[in-house]
């Protein structure tokens, strides 16, 4: 029986930055295929995500009929710099060599799933039915999950997403909705030295608009941000165009709507007073979810944790994940921590102990 940490190290050595995930998805299809599990490529997703690989759905047919089918989900892509990862073993900790991320986000979850499935197959242990959903391009807008052909996972009611950081033993049962807001301010160009009075300065108008807006933490479940801004060509030209983007997140959809509208109207007001034109577009990215603590899925996770001697805690987050999309698709999903630390940085690392616990947990959910 292979060790989960060896499987993990093998996985992170296969590059899979968002969009270039083909080799890794093929590897997974081979590995699960070798165990005799049914592997289905969600070919239709490729065109919509722009990735070179499809989502992969793996089905475990179990013998136990007293439990419903359970889903586990993890994403196959990594952020940059994620090429040529050289893992370093430091005691119980696996880290990168410092030039790249490690890829425990999200291969810690994937390695644990594969390891648990291997154990079930190799030791011939009866399990319940399960589906493993491996999504592409999560890091660039949850694209694989958004474009997943849900007919391939029909009948699935409960799912555990393995894509949360921090020590093993926390499940995120509540996460916000997010609106992205694309904004454009049009002024009028003029020579800044010869006849500035003929111009309308779009940068000045946007600055006044943003200064008039509340950003950052709005309350305990609501945040807003202006994240990008582009405009202007040269110091001797009155700038006629600024494009900028912001976002609002809230676990309360009424607040999401209110804060989004406030951001737009407060910027619009100042921009108009400067005589410039204002255009905007609100793009709903994903919806909030909230799985109550007395839900059967949460109770089962806590019980399995107890048997392992782990005190599972529920919590909320300000971030979005595939979990939001799965919930939008009518599945009860929570996001579980695998022990990955400092993700999206070159100091990303994970304890082998947490990889083992994650695999043990999956095994227990599947076979208990």
Decide: is 322 part of the binding site for Zn ion (CB under 5 A): no
What does the DSSP 8-state code read for residue 341?
Answer: B
Instruction: Choose between 73 and 201: whose C-beta lies nearer to Zn ion.
Output: 73
For 65, residues 6+ apart whose C-beta sits below 8 A from its C-beta are: 128
Q: Of 48-56, 104-112, 164-172, 192-200, which part binds Zn ion (CB under 5 A)?
A: 104-112
Instruction: Choose between 105 and 360: whose C-beta lies nearer to Zn ion.
Output: 105
Q: Is 138 a catalytic residue?
A: yes
Q: Is 17 a catalytic residue?
A: no
Task: Report how many helices (DSSP H) and strands (DSSP E) the chain contains, helices first.
Answer: 10, 17
Q: Of 100-108, 194-202, 218-226, 345-353, which part binds Zn ion (CB under 5 A)?
A: 100-108
Kindly give the pairing relationship between strand 55-60 and strand 130-135.
antiparallel
Q: How far is the CB of 336 from Zn ion (least distance, A)?
A: 12
Interaction pattern, residues 163-192, with Zn ion; x per rule: CB under 5 A: x-----------------------------
Size of the site for Zn ion (CB under 5 A): 3
Cβ count near 251 (within 10 Å): 19
Q: How far is the CB of 342 from Zn ion (least distance, A)?
A: 13
Q: How far is the CB of 164 from Zn ion (least distance, A)?
A: 8
Decide: is 17 part of the binding site for Zn ion (CB under 5 A): no
CB 140 within 8 A of CB 80: no
Among positions 31, 42, 77, 105, the unique one binding Zn ion when judged by CB under 5 A:
105
What does the DSSP 8-state code read for residue 62?
Answer: P
Q: How far is the CB of 79 from Zn ion (least distance, A)?
A: 8
> Phi-psi category of 91—alpha, beta or left, where left has phi over 0 and alpha has psi -120 to 50?
left
335-339-342-346 Cα dihedral, nearest 10 degrees: -120
Q: Active-site residue among 17, 21, 42, 77?
A: 77
Interaction pattern, residues 129-168, with Zn ion; x per rule: CB under 5 A: ----------------------------------x-----
Name the packing angle between helices 352-367 and 4-12 (round to 10°): 110
Q: How far is the CB of 193 from Zn ion (least distance, A)?
A: 51
CA distance 122 to 228: 51
Q: Strands (DSSP E) along the chain, which ranges?
A: 38-42, 55-60, 70-75, 88-90, 93-95, 130-135, 158-164, 170-175, 177-186, 216-219, 222-231, 241-250, 277-286, 289-290, 313-316, 332-337, 349-351
Q: Active-site residue among 17, 105, 138, 348?
A: 138
Decide: is 106 part of the binding site for Zn ion (CB under 5 A): yes
Residues that bind Zn ion (CB under 5 A): 105-106, 163
Which residues are tagged catalytic?
77, 138
């Amino acid at each position: 029986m292979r060790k989960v940490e060896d499987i993990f190290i093998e996985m992170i050595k296969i590059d899979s930055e968002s969009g270039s995930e083909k080799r890794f998805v093929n590897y997974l299809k081979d590995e699960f295929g070798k165990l005799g599990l049914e592997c289905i490529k969600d070919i239709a997703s490729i065109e919509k995500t722009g990735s070179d690989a499809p989502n992969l759905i793996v089905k475990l047919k179990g013998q136990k009929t007293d439990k419903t089918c359970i889903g586990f989900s993890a994403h196959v892509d990594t952020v940059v710099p994620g090429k040529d990862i050289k893992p370093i073993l430091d005691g119980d900790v696996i880290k990168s060599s410092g030039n790249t991320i490690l890829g425990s986000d999200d291969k810690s979850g994937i390695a644990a799933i594969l390891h648990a499935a291997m154990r079930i197959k190799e030791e011939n242990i009866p399990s319940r039915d399960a589906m493993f959903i491996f999504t592409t391009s999560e890091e660039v807008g949850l694209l694989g999950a958004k474009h997943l052909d849900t007919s391939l996972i029909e009948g699935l009611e409960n799912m555990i997403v393995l894509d949360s950081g921090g020590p093993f033993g926390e499940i995120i049962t509540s996460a916000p909705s997010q609106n992205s807001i694309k904004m454009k301010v049009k002024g009028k160009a003029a020579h800044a030295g010869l006849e500035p009075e003929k111009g309308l300065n779009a940068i000045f108008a946007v600055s006044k608009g943003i200064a008039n807006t509340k950003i950052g933490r709005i309350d305990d479940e609501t945040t807003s941000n202006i994240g990008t801004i582009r405009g202007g060509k040269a110091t001797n030209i009155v700038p006629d165009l600024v494009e900028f983007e912001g976002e609002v997140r809230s676990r309360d959809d009424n607040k999401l709507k209110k804060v989004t509208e406030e951001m737009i109207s407060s910027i619009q007001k100042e921009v108009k007073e400067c005589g410039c034109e204002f255009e905007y577009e609100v793009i709903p990215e994903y919806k909030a979810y909230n799985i109550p603590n007395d839900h059967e899925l949460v109770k089962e996770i806590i019980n399995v944790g107890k048997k392992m001697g782990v005190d599972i805690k529920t919590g909320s987050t300000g971030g979005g994940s595939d979990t939001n999309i799965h919930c939008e698709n009518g599945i009860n999903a929570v996001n579980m921590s695998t022990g990955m630390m400092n993700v999206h940085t070159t100091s990303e690392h994970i304890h082998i102990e947490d990889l083992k616990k994650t695999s043990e947990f999956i095994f227990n959910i599947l076979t208990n």
